[in-house]
Amino acid sequence: MFKEYDPIEDKMFNIIDDKGVVVNKKWMPKLSDEQIVKAYKDMLFARTADLQIVSYQRQGRIYTYPPNYGQEAIAGAVGAIMRDEDWLVPAFREMGAYLAKGVTLKEIFLYFMGYEDGSLFKGAKNILPMSVPIASQYLHAAGIGYEIKYNKKDQVVYAFVGDGGTSEGDFHEALNFAGVWNVPVVFIVQNNQYGISTPFKVQTASKNIAIKSVAYGIEGIKVDGNDYFAMYAAVENVTKLAKEGKGPFLIEAVTYRKGAHTTSDDPTKYRTKEEEEDWDKKDPLDRLRAFLIAKKLWTVKEEEKLVSQYKKEVDRQFEEAENYPAYPLDDAFQFLYEEMPDDLKKQKFEHEKFLQWKETRK
């Protein structure tokens, strides 16, 4: 696969075209109809939730949120392959992978409503909390990879970053360490063409991102990230190889951030309508839907029904999150150290004294 789609020649791996027609039979993954339908449903659920959140945000019911809109196939494919025992090291724009891990929408809501409790991920194993400092999490992934190898575990790490993140030194150091250590980490770059307002060509003069694997002696591949099957096939392939001890891999998933960077961003400032429309034609859900409809596995009506059902579910979880208990003072203090140092206890105590004083003044 890596020879056939050599990033040095800037080749991109894809399987279906923009109309959902399979153009690369050789690599079409062996998926049952049910699996494909489930994949589509998962993506649809993620998209429904994502779009809802943006509207909650407009209503002032949640803070800044980074939409996944248009990038769902990437996290979807990883989510379908990743097992409970595998590790997910997320950035912040891969909701489908969180959900696949067992994170609930409610938790995601809690996080963006401003509760650290949203990172508890009670039903999910082996997933790190969202990492805000760009690319820094890639090193954590390499370290987890080391632990897996050290303890000879049957696990793989899936780590995410954006195209902007590839410019950070930590990106380089992580791939370099993982390469030297030869650890089972799949490094996925969601190249959505922008880092906030900054276009890909300002991030790097390199032909593509997959090619950067060469610098670390590892394999890399550039994949059409809006093509669910291509993403699935690529992730499946490197997962198998990683389990065999064939080391880390770099997947560049080419996609487009159809929404704003976050709800406080306005993309019209830095990109054109034409560009957006060009990418609309490659929408990952449209493409997979077309595939399914052609195979008579899906109908528009079914989709409508499902979406309204999903919306209700999203609303339900959102309301649960909105009714989450108030944030206790203790929670601001208790997780810094295993045992709270005396000084910190004193700080809390003094603050409580102030709060009492404030109470009495009312």
Residues near ligand TPP, by CB under 6 A: 93, 132-134, 162-165, 190, 192, 194-196, 257, 261
The verdict on whether 271 is a catalytic residue reads no
Q: How far apart are CA 47 and CA 70, in angstroms?
A: 8
By rule CB under 8 A, what string of x and - marks binding of each residue 91-120 to its own copies?
------------------------------
By rule CB under 8 A, what string of x and - marks binding of each residue 65-94 to other proteins?
----------------------x-x-----
Nearer to ligand TPP, 117 or 173 (CB): 173
Please identify, among the stretches 73-81, 171-179, 277-285, 290-298, the one whose residues bind other proteins according to the rule CB under 8 A.
171-179
Give the shortest CB-200-to-Mg ion separation in angstroms.
8
E strand map for the chain = 87-89, 157-162, 185-191, 194-195, 198-199, 219-224, 249-254
Please identify, among the stretches 30-38, 76-84, 279-287, 354-362, the one whose residues bind other proteins according to the rule CB under 8 A.
354-362
DSSP per-residue codes, 286-339:
HHHHHHHHHTTS--HHHHHHHHHHHHHHHHHHHHHHHTPPP--HHHHHTTSSSS
Residue 341 interacts with which of other proteins, Mg ion, its own copies, none, CB < 5 to 8 Å by class: other proteins
User: CA nearest 283: which of 107, 84, 68?
Assistant: 68
End-to-end CA distance of the chain: 71
Q: Which of residues 22-51 bind other proteins (CB under 8 A)?
A: none
Q: How far apart are CA 139 and CA 162, in angstroms?
A: 14
3-class DSSP state for residue 72? helix
Q: How far apart are CA 23 and CA 41, in angstroms?
A: 23
Give the shortest CB-208-to-its own copies separation in angstroms.
9
Nearer to other proteins, 21 or 196 (CB): 196
Cα dihedral 92→97→102→106 (10° resolution): 40
Q: How far apart are CA 355 and CA 171, in angstroms?
A: 45
β-strands 198-199, 219-224 pairing = unpaired
By rule CB under 5 A, what string of x and - marks binding of each residue 156-175 to Mg ion?
------xxx-----------
Give the shortest CB-221-to-other proteins separation in angstroms.
23
The verdict on whether 261 is a catalytic residue reads yes
The verdict on whether 63 is a catalytic residue reads no
Nearer to its own copies, 126 or 204 (CB): 204
Asked if 327 touches other proteins (CB under 8 A), the answer is yes
Point out the catalytic residue in the list 261, 287, 289, 310.
Answer: 261
Q: How far apart are CA 221 and CA 207, in angstroms?
A: 12
Token pair of 151 as six digits: 């303890």
Give the shortest CB-339-to-other proteins separation in angstroms.
9
Give the shortest CB-170-to-ligand TPP separation in angstroms.
8
Distances from the Cα of 193 to the Cα of 155, 197, 209, 253, angstroms: 31, 10, 11, 10
Contact with other proteins (CB under 8 A) among 61, 136, 260, 297: 136
Nearer to its own copies, 22 or 180 (CB): 180
Contact with its own copies (CB under 8 A) among 169, 199, 245, 341: 169
DSSP 192: -
DSSP 133: S
Cα 312 to chain centroid distance, Å, stands at 23
Nearer to other proteins, 244 or 359 (CB): 359
User: CA nearest 36: which of 238, 309, 294?
Assistant: 294
Asked if 349 touches other proteins (CB under 8 A), the answer is no
Query: Is the Cβ–Cβ distance between 37 and 51 less than 8 Å?
Result: no
Q: Which of residues 183-212 bind its own copies (CB under 8 A)?
A: 201-207, 211-212
Point out the catalytic residue in the list 58, 63, 83, 270.
Answer: 270
DSSP 209: S
Nearer to Mg ion, 112 or 200 (CB): 200
Residues known to be catalytic:
257, 261, 270
List interacting residues with its own copies (CB under 8 A): 8, 167-173, 176, 179-180, 182, 201-207, 211-212, 214-218, 247
